[in-house]
Chain A
Amino acid sequence: MFRSKASSLSTVIPLMFGQSNLACKFFHPVIASHGLCCHRSVIYKQRYRMHQLSAGRRTINTGTKVMAEGELPSVLILDIGGTHGVLEDLAALLKKHFHLITMKEFLGNKEEMRKKIQSIFVFECRPTIDRELLESLPNLKVIANSGVGVDHLDLKMISSFGVKVTNTPHAVADPTADIGMALMLASARRLVEGCHIALSPDTKYFAVDWLGVEVTRATLGIIGMGSIGYKVAQRARAFNMRILYHNRNRRRKEDEEAVGAHYCAKMEDLLQQSDFVMLVVNLTPETHKLIGKKELGLMKPTATLINISRGAVIDQDALVEALQNKVIRAAALDVTYPEPLPRDHPLLNLSNVIITPHIGTATVQAIRMMAEEAIANMLAALNDQPIPSEVFPK
């Protein structure tokens, strides 16, 4: 990794060393040609900027170019701060390029505001985009989502209004792959349980027969080998894991060989052979309840299911049953349906389940990078330039 003070749009630089080329090529943020949703062959550029809070991380260049003389384009957001609003730091970033209008301001002055709004920044799935909102915003050009999953957006409906949708696939990949690894290791080694024992007022000694399972040299089955899945494979390889994967399409041979991944055309083969099954797919009608009773039954009784995709990819009732009856060993879930689960949900009480509150991209660095990626998307859309990460309805 190298770092430099970013100042202006300058030479295009290649991908970071070691990354897969499948999803990424080179691009200049303003003069890009766009990619297609399905293959994520998005062209992008990464620049490296010293960030005083972070370890010196990658950032997406938003360019210092401001739209035009005069007014900044207006972007609708839910709120700034508060329980679900855009974080203050991110609002400051957005304000460099846009005039922000909160939902409250919009509803309080619809007539004046509605024609101004050209873009909506969707943060943590809010504001909700429904037909009524779209009908009231005649000049809306783009909805920029913070995050990669867009299952909360009705792409067909939005498209029927001539509005583009964008997401942030690049910002999410590393931190989400990290959380996948974190959950796998924590579950295998019973980290949460262990911590409770270490801290419990009742603990008098540490039992010697208290064991977890190995991660090194175990078999990891990755379901969904997109950018995030591939980064998981890169990490898992360093643990000498045997890597199987199942994907809509097979990856190129070079990509497979680079991480030592074996393609399983049939998901059943992956399920039967894996010690750890990790879900890294998009949520689509095809992947809804992809993992149900049958699939759980195919898994080894010593296997662990890890979900860093979307809760609805798993049939949750079937999962509860499988865990209670020891059909599988354990589960580690960053995502559930809904989030949070109802407080009386059985998943909350199983000792062989770790649940985290959807924190796949909850890092200081990622949150900022997602905003920057969304800003780049919005600027491109509003400038009628090709959009770095546009998402199309199927």
Chain B
Amino acid sequence: MESQELPYVLVDCIGGRLGVYEDHLGFLKKRFHLITMKEYLENKTLLSKKIRAIYVWYHKPAINEELLQSLPNLKVVASAGVGIDHLDLKLLSSYGVKVSNTPFVVSTDTADMGMALMLASSRRLVEGHEMAVSPDTEYFPVDWLGVEVSGATLGIVGMGKIGYKVAERAKAFEMKILYHNRNQRKKEEESAVGAIYCKKIDDLLQQSDFVLLAATLTPQTHKMIGKRELELMKPTATLINISRGLIVDQDALVEALQNKVIKAAALDVTYPEPLPRDHPLLKLKNVIITPHIGSATKKTRWVMMEEMAESIEAGLAGLPIPREVLP
């Protein structure tokens, strides 16, 4: 594009621990003129009319009404990952801005993370590692046991792309699979993974050894797992969350774990992230927390970036946007 300028795309920052990856820049800069938030704020008058898209890399930059008002030519917001609960879709739509996400590429890594957390929790892997490397360890005690994943019952709450991939993996461990979803899946899909539909979430909660949350965060799923749901779970059950922290009533979870209402929890997501450093969840022995790394692999992040670039280009060209999210 020699005669025309490359389209101006707003990003939060480049490099460092939170910014757009340095090794993604080559690809992006061939297609876009990237403007960081800092550059934009220093030169609003010139840049505000030029910016036509925002590249939201891990929930940044935050998009509020003020920002939308000052970007009259904004057409597309491309968001990394599948969750879009950090975006006000109605608001964006009211400004005529289209939104895209990257739902497919994250599904296998996130499903893998769900399996990793389930296995690590059940076999007490983090605790075990600590023991194996601790300067105080003199011998390995023989009465130190975990519980089996193979043959146990897994209840998947939210059987979308990610939930289904979890089911595919769990099947190979000969797990009995129950699922609860807004809609029942097709019979062939159910048979392929041996999943049994639980119209009432209560049935799933009462029978599962592992309850895995893979639902989208919406007003309906907000605090979906609260005191009542935790009490319906077996006292030997483990809660695994790879969706969003807000799907769980965290205070109720703390209480349930402290009172051994459930056995353990393994969370890739919390609210907020990170948790305050004095939060009780950080101190419980039966909790594993990972820093929201469900899609944190090099390959996946590269594909996400490519997909976001593609969505922006399509949107700016007035073409149908791949992976558009409608309000």
Contact = CB atoms under 8 A, between A and B. Distances in A.
Interface string B147-172: 11111110000000000000011111
Interface string B95-129: 00000000000001101110111011001111011
Interface stretch (A31-39, A171-179, A262-270, A318-326): A171-179
Contact of B168 (A55, A58, A198, A238): A238
A30 B4 CA distance: 85
Chain A, interface residues (CB within 8 Å), range: 35 or more
Contacts of A237: 172
Which of B135, B174, B301 gathers most chain A CB within 10 Å?
Answer: B174
B109 A194 contact: no
Which of A123, A186, A203, A205 gathers most chain B CB within 10 Å?
Answer: A186
Interface stretch (B63-71, B221-229, B290-298): B290-298
Interface string B172-199: 1110100000000000000000000000
B172 A234 contact: yes
A365 interface: yes
Contact of B148 (A123, A175, A235): A175
Contacts of B288: 191, 195
Contacts of B139: 83-84, 340
Interface string A95-119: 0000000000000000000000000
A55 B143 contact: no
Nearest to A190: B293
A354 B129 contact: yes
A186 B116 contact: yes
A24 interface: no
A340 B140 contact: yes
A364 B116 contact: no
A57 interface: yes
B236 interface: yes
Interface string A184-214: 0110111110110111010111111111111
B138 interface: yes
B191 to A, nearest CB: 14
Contact of B141 (A83, A195, A235): A83
B18 to A, nearest CB: 5
A340 B138 contact: yes
Given A55-B148, A238-B172, A363-B123, A214 B297 contact: yes
Nearest to A339: B140
Interface in A31-77: 53-58
Contacts of A362: 123, 144-146
A18 B291 contact: no
B30 interface: no
B57 interface: yes
B172 A208 contact: no
Contact of B293 (A194, A204, A358): A194
Contacts of A358: 140
Contacts of A252: none
Interface in A151-196: 174-175, 177-179, 181-183, 185-186, 188-192, 194-195
B274 A343 contact: no
B1 interface: no
Contacts of A365: 147-148, 151
B131 A357 contact: yes
A69 B21 CA distance: 76
Which of A175, A191, A208, A358 gathers most chain B CB within 10 Å?
Answer: A208
8 contacts: A55-B209, A203-B277, A207-B291, A214-B298, A238-B171, A239-B108, A341-B132, A362-B144
Interface of B: 16-19, 21, 57-58, 108-109, 111-113, 115-117, 119-120, 123-126, 128-129, 131-133, 135, 137-153, 168-174, 176, 209, 236, 273-275, 277, 282, 288-293, 296-301
Given A189-B297, A206-B292, 18 more contacts: A54-B147, A177-B150, A181-B115, A182-B120, A195-B288, A195-B289, A201-B277, A208-B17, A210-B291, A211-B296, A213-B298, A216-B109, A341-B132, A357-B131, A357-B137, A362-B146, A363-B145, A363-B147
Interface of A: 1, 16, 18, 53-58, 83-85, 87, 123-124, 174-175, 177-179, 181-183, 185-186, 188-192, 194-195, 197-199, 201, 203-217, 234-240, 339-341, 343, 348-349, 354-359, 362-367
